[in-house]
Amino acid sequence: MTLTPTDPAAAGGLPPTEGVLHETVLPAPGSGGRRPPFLRIEWVDDETGAVGYLVIDTLVHGMATGGTRMRAGCTVDEVADLARGMSNKTAAFDLPVGGAKGGIDFDPKDPRAVDVLTRYCEAMRPFLDNHWVTAEDLGVSQERIDTVFARLGMRQSYHAAIERSPDPRATADRVFAGLNAYAPGGRLGDVVGGYGVAQAALAAAGVRGWAVPETTIAVQGAGTMGGGAAFYLHEAGARVVALADAAGTLYDPDGLDVPGLLDARDEYGEIDRTAVPSRVMRLPREAVLATACDILVPAAVSYAITGAGCGDVRARIVVEAANAPTTADAELDLTARGIAVIPDFIANAGAVAWAWWLLLGQVGEDYRDSFDRLRTRMDAKVSSLLTGWTPSAGPIRWAADVSARSRSAEPLVVP
């Protein structure tokens, strides 16, 4: 395991866990203005050769939060980009925690995947015990990561925060109840992120004055985030005309039966084609990005929209549900064409915001409280960014940048 501290404070170890505010780091000379992450770790699995990474981008009160992904080809640069995005998400929603991300270069469908994830988490145990709150991400379901935590004798993947509570067992029970509470569309902990993305899209449509039933949507990805976004957009009355999974794009200009398609998914978010009505067109996987629609929701892999392919995008607004789905050059090109891109650290931040609201006791088992709070916050943020925006002002991401925002130095208290 290689541990690379990229901040002077890291050379002497992580700071104490209580009452520490570590967030603003000056850019390193020659970095082009981008500050380095707080800490990077590389891990190699002795049994499979899989390589894993942990990047802690910022610490606030000695804590950072961010999911753990698993995919073949995952790189440390990808994980660092995602960790930086997590810092932006937590700052944008005024959460008392910094940003981090875990990633493993390994096929999540491999039968050895759970054991690889277990060994990775065991290696990261000092951080998971005290500094890093993780959760599901691409290739790693919440159920899978909680299974691994149980194997290692930890209460849940929010372990580091839960252990700060005066009564960790009671807090763990409260968090578990919230995660597993009923919500339309599924388990609250699974669908709340997609609900937030749907509200971001609906807020954008509202700013443009589009009637919801006439608003057309294309969603890339039918997993937790993409499936949830498609479900709640469909429930709101919008017309989801395209939905893509790893096997291809399903397209119907009259609108897809989203609940029916989601019911036909397997554990990897792939839709059983035998359950797809004959009227639905079956197109190549990449076709979803070129769908003529009002709003495109990339909710699958990072860097899906690149400079080479962004000319095919025909949506009027892109709402980023995946982490870093649009490369910087593609975003500039889309902006120049008048296509608004609602950045990921706003649009898909609902899951992390809700998780910390749950940890801090601000929401509970009633999904209506969580949905009301998230809808209000997302509508306000997206509306303020999009209202009056013009392409000449540059990407919306620039106006939304919160990287320099400071947060309260009051101690983090988990009830």
**Which residues are part of the catalytic machinery?**
101
- Evaluate whether 205 touches 294 at the Cβ level (below 8 Å): yes
Please give the helix or strand (H or E) that residue 330 lies within, else none.
helix 328-336
CA distance 242 to 293: 9
249: phi then psi, degrees, rounded to nearest 5 = -105, 130
What's the one-letter identity of residue 72?
A
First to last CA, the chain: 35
Task: Determine how many CB atoms are found less than 10 A away from the CB of residue 387.
Answer: 10
Positive or negative: CA dihedral 229, 231, 234, 239: positive
CA distance 38 to 16: 15
CA distance 356 to 133: 10
CA distance 114 to 117: 5
CA distance 45 to 325: 28
What's the one-letter identity of residue 262?
L
CA distance 336 to 251: 28
Distances (CA, A) of 181 to 28, 57, 187, 364: 45, 31, 6, 9
Q: Give 265's DSSP letter.
A: B
CA distance 357 to 350: 10
Select from 377, 373, 395 the least CA-distant residue to 386: 395
**E-state strands within 229-268:** 239-245, 248-251
